[in-house]
Chain A
Amino acid sequence: MTRSLRQLAEDRGLRTRAVADDELQASCPEAVFTELVAGLAGPAVLADLFATADDARRPRLTAVLQLHGDPQWLVLSTELQGTTFASLTPIVHAASWYEREIWEAHGLEPIGHPRPAPLRRHLSPGAPPLRSPSAPEFPAGADPRPAFGPAVEGQGLVQLPLGPVRSGPQESAAFLFSSGGEDLVQVSPRLGYKFRALERMAEGLPADRALVFAERLAGTSSFATALAFARAVERAAGIAVGPAAEWTRTCLAELERVRSHCAAVTRLADATGLLVASAQYGLLTEELLRTAADLTGHRYLRGCLSIGGADAIQPSVVPHHLRRRVDGWADRASALRALLDETSTFLDRLDTTAVLEPAYAERHQLVGPVGRASGADCDARRDHPYLAYPGLPIRVPVRRDGDAAARLQVRLDEIDASLGLLRRLLDVWIEAPGPMGPPELRAGAALGWAEAPGGETLAFVELDSDGRVRHWRARPPAVVNWHPYAHACASGNNLTDYPVIEASFDLSVAEFDR
């Protein structure tokens, strides 16, 4: 019998408090925090690490942990005495970017971090941390304006910068290619160009208004990100959401997953030059967007979610029409998949392209289709059941090849699975309740989560007694999944593979930058 997360924590002398069936909270002195998190992150997984600070009290450092097979989350926090803390990165590699974010946002220095450099504010040399202009600038010795990641040098190697302005209608990000002519020796991404400081801007706003920011964190996963935020607020304030709202939210989340994956396949087919497939999946994407607009009044499902569960589905929607549309998509998706599976010119481009080994995926604790294509058996819908998912059969496709082909297959599997879930969901049509008054909010702090199209998305929200957002931490899947990108690019690929690599990962820049 394996031990639960609660038992593991108690073994280490930690007293936990259950704020809900699926969430434990605990606090510990600063001196033992790093040791505790490092010890727990062996059997368990470090899902997030962040700092919260305001003028009224000392900064707090919080780690979110989860254990495979245990539906409970552990939120462990500590109060910092000064403006430094012991870095976790030398022991837990997944903490590296989190600590750099903490440093640039709050001016809290991770002592012992192997590469202390700004993550997102790299073009604002000398910019003080966002939190307090009086806090120290980036620690002495750090290059305020670093180039890309570590460079590769050698005879015959050329450096080729790409971005931040891209060649097509794409998101802004910069990449430095090191190439010996044909082969791609290294790709160093530099992100953060689009840093809007969204979580910071939402502080002090009523939760209902901060939801507008959560919906605009990333366009391709608007609904899932907003859902994680709304659930965090509801859990923090102890608001129960009715079955109708849970059902509606489940339907819309699955609709968003199918749409997002279809758009990803569209881009991948386009990158490989398979234009008919790109057009066909583009048609599916547009139909899914139009259906979203019919259902909620917004193509990207914005504005339909509300805290407390008075979610708006347009009354004009006819259930059996919708069911027929879903059936049509499922038929077309499987016909297109059969065609893709026999197009050797297409599959040849994907096989063994940008391989990410399962061991690497495990070390970085990857999530979503990118993780699942590299053997990471994780899905928040199954591991931490929420909404209507406990009653639904969740199939989690896992492959171990870790190449572009595996990532495509996982997405195609998920399109089929999500359309199957939608068909089951639409067999029972739950009428939305009538208009509800604004919910009563109270002080509290809780974690909210959802399985976004790109993987598990987390939101930790702390509410003031008047229902305003005191702190909001968003950890969308791209924050985790950008980490191994450079490694996968350097797995023996050619320069001409690059568009295929980028499309096969389909990582959101906005989610990373926030």
Chain B
Amino acid sequence: MSRWIACGLRTGTRTTRFPRPAGVGDDGAPSSITCRWPGLTPADALAAAALCPTAALTATGTEAAGTLRFDQGACVLCGRCVRAFPQAFAVDPDPRVAVRDRGRLTLELGWEPGRPPAPRPLTRAADAVRRHGHRLFRHSLHIRHVDAGSCNGCEAELQMLGTPYVDLHRLGIFFTPTPRHADVLLVTGVVTENMEAALRATYAAMPSPKLVLAAGVCAIHGGCFAGGPTTVGPLDRCLPVDVYVPGCPPTPQALLHGLLLAIDRATERAPRAGEARDGA
């Protein structure tokens, strides 16, 4: 046993400083795909939407006038758009992808004759979204995880939260085996017919106040499994969701940011330029 202790000490500290300094992640893994619309032509926008294997990029209209909707909540990061149109789509390693408002994951670009693609303001019910996290859980947060129908990618990343690189315990965050002790319900996967009842029962067994976190594209939107014959749909069709963490799967640091966002210990990434017009 003493040799194990020596082995551990020799390794030294490997833990990331994330979310400090200034919330920059350091694992270098792509966390999202972003759209740089000044580099996008209407023809490219239509072609990119045809390439997308999920509903992340959907286009309407023609090259003369039309709309491209980019939903990060449905983006499985397959990279097809990035490879085909590198001037307009890019992989972003910033792990701060979590949002409280589902609408913030979407970007709508419109174009007309003489006007190149530019963001359109989003319409959304602003008051439906909690502006702040639950400060009550700032010092100690207990997570109840439910796999509602995932591929095990999200679970693999959740398990990485416990490894020394991330070590979520240093932040006062723990997994709990019982819903009675849980503050946040972390759900992965598209909700399947078979898991719906267990998911609802787990939520009902948690004491209030409680938070719900949708981790991964399957839980947020369904991703490529949206509309499947044995699935019920995305998580917010079953339960009220407080925080959305996109990714396929979300990286450990993205999951950590989502958890900290839920308890107001982290902030959302600065709004995209296109959102400034939206008045929120």
- A and B assemble together: yes
Q: Is A2 close to B, CB under 8 A?
A: no
Q: Is the CB of A290 within 8 A of B27?
A: yes
Chain B residues, Cβ within 8 Å of A216: 76, 151, 153, 223-225, 248
Contact check, A201 vs B164: say whether CB atoms are below 8 A apart.
no
Q: Which residues of A lie under 8 Å from residue B229 when comparing CB positions?
A: 130, 197, 200-201
Contact B163 A266 (CB under 8 A): yes
Q: Are B27 and A293 touching (Cβ within 8 A)? A: yes
Could you say which residues of chain A place their CB within 8 Å of the CB of B83?
Answer: 312
A279–B13 Cα distance when bound, in Å, is 12
Which of A212, A276, A509 is B5 in contact with, Cβ under 8 Å?
A276
Contacts A213-B224, A274-B4; is A169 near B230 (CB within 8 Å)? no
Q: Is the CB of A339 within 8 A of B150?
A: no
Whose C-beta in chain B lies nearest to the C-beta of A284?
Answer: B163
Q: Are A164 and B230 in contact (CB under 8 A)?
A: no
* Residue B149, interface by CB 8 Å: yes
* Residues in A neighbouring B159, C-beta threshold 8 A: 168-169, 263, 266-267
A510 at the interface (CB under 8 A from B): yes
Task: Tell whether A276 pairs with B4 under 8 Å between CB atoms, given A193-B194, A194-B149, A201-B225.
Answer: yes
- Across the interface, do B164 and A339 meet the contact criterion of CB distance under 8 Å? no
Contact B197 A218 (CB under 8 A): no
* Complex interface bits, B183-203 against A, C-beta within 8 A gives 1, otherwise 0: 000000110111101110010
Contact A283–B150 (Cβ < 8 Å): no
Tally of A interface residues using CB under 8 Å: 66
B147 touches A172 (CB 8 A): yes
* Further contacts, 10 of them, CB under 8 A, given A195-B230, A197-B231: A120-B194, A165-B147, A166-B145, A170-B147, A194-B148, A279-B163, A283-B163, A286-B163, A298-B30, A343-B4
Interface set of A (CB-CB < 8 Å, partner B): 120-124, 127, 130, 164-172, 192-198, 200-201, 209, 212-213, 216-220, 222, 263, 266-267, 274, 276-277, 279-280, 282-283, 285-286, 289-290, 293-294, 297-300, 302-303, 312, 335-336, 339, 342-343, 345, 508-510
Enumerate 10 A-B pairs (CB-CB under 8 Å) in ascending A order. Answer: A165-B146, A169-B161, A170-B145, A171-B150, A193-B192, A195-B192, A196-B225, A209-B53, A299-B249, A509-B152
Residues of B within 8 A of A (CB): 1, 3-5, 7-8, 11, 14, 27-30, 53-54, 76-80, 83, 91, 145-165, 175, 177, 189-190, 192-195, 197-199, 202, 223-225, 228-231, 248-249, 251
- 9 residue pairs, one from A and one from B, having the closest CB atoms: A219-B153, A282-B163, A167-B177, A169-B158, A293-B29, A219-B152, A276-B4, A212-B53, A172-B147
